[in-house]
A and B are shown apart, each in its own frame.
Chain A
């Protein structure tokens, strides 16, 4: 079966646009049709631009259209990035040649070449910052404008790093500036989209990983992270107590998770650690790595529907796609898109507050489901 039913995850072009649109001072031009523009423009809530090529451009070449767009944006940004979508990639335009000696970053990111992560990582690898490795503190990466938790994750990472006696440095890639200096070290708020900038000291999702990351930070920076250790220990205790109380009256949840693989793996680990949850499977939006759990590719709505019908989990963590497919399960939103609810707070998924918020949502959703019937939902 060659087809994919209702694909659930964006393409490489959106991934690349997400990375570049999060850099302050960077102007992003999508070299393609308006259709390629509208999704990232609406999903990322950042001004991006498009050459809006037409059939005429395909026949006679779109170089002139691109040059016109670049010239009209001249002076409005510190630097421009041109992302080539499917059509210019197929027609084989020599975009770099057309742009001559202009300081424009050109990236081939046709949607058919891969998934969101491949585009994001290609963009991250294509850009350098002048002060790489010279700033104090610790960079925070894994920040993506498409991630409903990016703002909360950035705030929480900054809070924890400050408690650990250091400070947040460059935020890759939400709010980092073209002229930013970055630190030689990096921690990750989302392990599925590492920036490749600085030495990676670990990720901030789940307590074991967090502890490992802060030990590495202490070793690297020689800071004493006393306060952060108290914060971690105190929060673990509170989560333990809440989960223990839950298990006195309820069965552990039978959970299915959907999202980027490494992130979901860490969350599944927390559900097992605190709730003795039965992990029925992880549906991975991106290419999965090795896992202690059952992992399958989850980019096809019909295949997910089949899995959820067969396994009938009582707890689903994922996007509102999965929420729609599992109306009888308790639901917690952890993956883009989370539609159909109002979200105003900067809720984290990473860090101590992220762990507390996640477990809080899981427990409330499970209890609501049992007390109100199978319609309990929660989310940011």
Chain B
């Protein structure tokens, strides 16, 4: 059966990127229902982060009549309407419906509206899934930046803006980069303005949120000559390897940072000494391979016994970032063991 897995709509993936450009207007070219689904999701995510405002999202609000006669006139009018407010950029996302009726969205976006207009193909099923939408949006927005000199900083590419713990992951990453004395140049794309995109080429290293974003890393390497690290720090040993790799790629000595982090990891594990030898049960069926390795490592370090009859504990996807992410995970596991 074509049962949906964890991958969502292309449109949602693209919007998760575009909506993080604060002075952008994003147009969803399709029926209002497609936009509502995503507006509702972004609203929930924003509230959970204490952001009361909403990103500026317009729906071209295709009706039955537009489906019959074509949606290009309403899209053009919607782009012009958005452009009148002089946003930093207008991002146009097409939907399944626009794709099916054959609207030439790309051609309309090439016209002159007095502000930059970026088209992200996001026609639901026709252009892939959530991940493809994210990639398309990152690459399309990255096309707005020019090559500049580098300054030893890093870009964070493709943070999962819809993720509940996105800020906690960012803080952990900052903590680790601080150990190396490395600055973050740009969160691409998370809570930035259009003008910030111009800084994309300044970083000396792009750090991808996950390996699946490699096409974006490749595109930016080709455009700006920026090398790329393929993942945020995941797992105990993965975090130490991350420090080593960032150090190598930026030509910095990482030994002091690794020593510090190793000591911190021991302190964290000491706090959960009471978990040692406990019997737990993990739902590994839905666990991506990378997570599986991190989880097995943690189970071995803590000498946890797995199997039927064990206490069920959560296995997050994606796996939490860094040592502090593992600290929070172990609190959740201990809570379950106490239950």
Contacts and interface: CB of A to CB of B under 8 A. Distances in A.
Contacts of A113: 64
A37 interface: yes
A34 B131 CA distance: 13
A7 B4 contact: no
B259 interface: no
Interface string B15-56: 000000000000100111111110111011011100011101
A33 interface: yes
A9 B40 CA distance: 9
A7 B2 contact: no
B9 A13 contact: no
Given A33-B124, A54-B125, A7 B35 contact: yes
Nearest to B68: A90
Interface in A32-51: 32-39, 41, 43, 49-51
A5 B82 CA distance: 10
B57 interface: yes
Nearest to A320: B47
A4 B124 contact: no
B129 A34 contact: yes
A325 B90 CA distance: 23
Contact of A35 (B52, B58, B125): B125
Contacts of B32: 4, 7, 11, 111, 299
B78 A52 contact: no
A8 B59 CA distance: 11
Interface size class of A (residues with CB under 8 A): 35 or more
B41 to A, nearest CB: 8
A322 B53 CA distance: 11
B77 A3 contact: yes
Contacts of A54: 125-126
A87 B78 contact: no
A324 B51 CA distance: 9
Interface stretch (B94-102, B150-158, B323-331): B94-102
A55 B99 CA distance: 9
Interface in A41-80: 41, 43, 49-55, 57-58, 65, 68-69, 72-73
B97 A3 contact: no
A13 B96 contact: no
Among A33, A34, A49, the most chain B Cβ lie within 10 Å of the Cβ of A33
B60 interface: yes
Contacts of B67: 86, 90, 112
A87 B96 contact: yes
A377 B96 CA distance: 39
Interface in A77-133: 86-87, 90-91, 110-113
Contacts of A41: 4
A34 B34 contact: no
Contacts of A34: 4, 7-9, 124-125, 129
Max count, chain A CB within 10 A of own CB: residue among B3, B56, B101:
B3
A90 B37 contact: no
A35 B3 contact: no
Nearest to B46: A324
A111 B11 CA distance: 16
Contacts of A53: 2, 125
B12 interface: yes
Contact of B57 (A6, A86, A87): A6
A18 interface: no
A5 B12 contact: no
Contact of A2 (B44, B53, B60): B60
B134 interface: no
Contacts of A324: 43, 46-47, 52-54
B56 A5 contact: yes
B1 interface: yes
B36 A9 contact: yes
A35 B40 CA distance: 13
Contact of B97 (A112, A320, A339): A112
Given A2-B77, A3-B77, A50-B4, A10 B37 contact: yes
10 contacts: A3-B61, A7-B59, A35-B12, A35-B37, A38-B9, A69-B1, A111-B33, A301-B54, A320-B43, A324-B54
Given A3-B74, A4-B35, A8-B39, 11 more contacts: A1-B81, A6-B58, A8-B36, A43-B40, A49-B1, A55-B99, A72-B1, A86-B30, A86-B97, A87-B125, A111-B33
Interface of B: 1-4, 7-12, 27, 30-37, 39-41, 43-44, 46-48, 52-54, 56-64, 66-67, 74, 77-78, 81-82, 95-97, 99-101, 124-127, 129
9 residue pairs, one from A and one from B, having the closest CB atoms? A11-B33, A35-B9, A111-B33, A340-B47, A52-B2, A39-B37, A33-B125, A7-B32, A112-B31
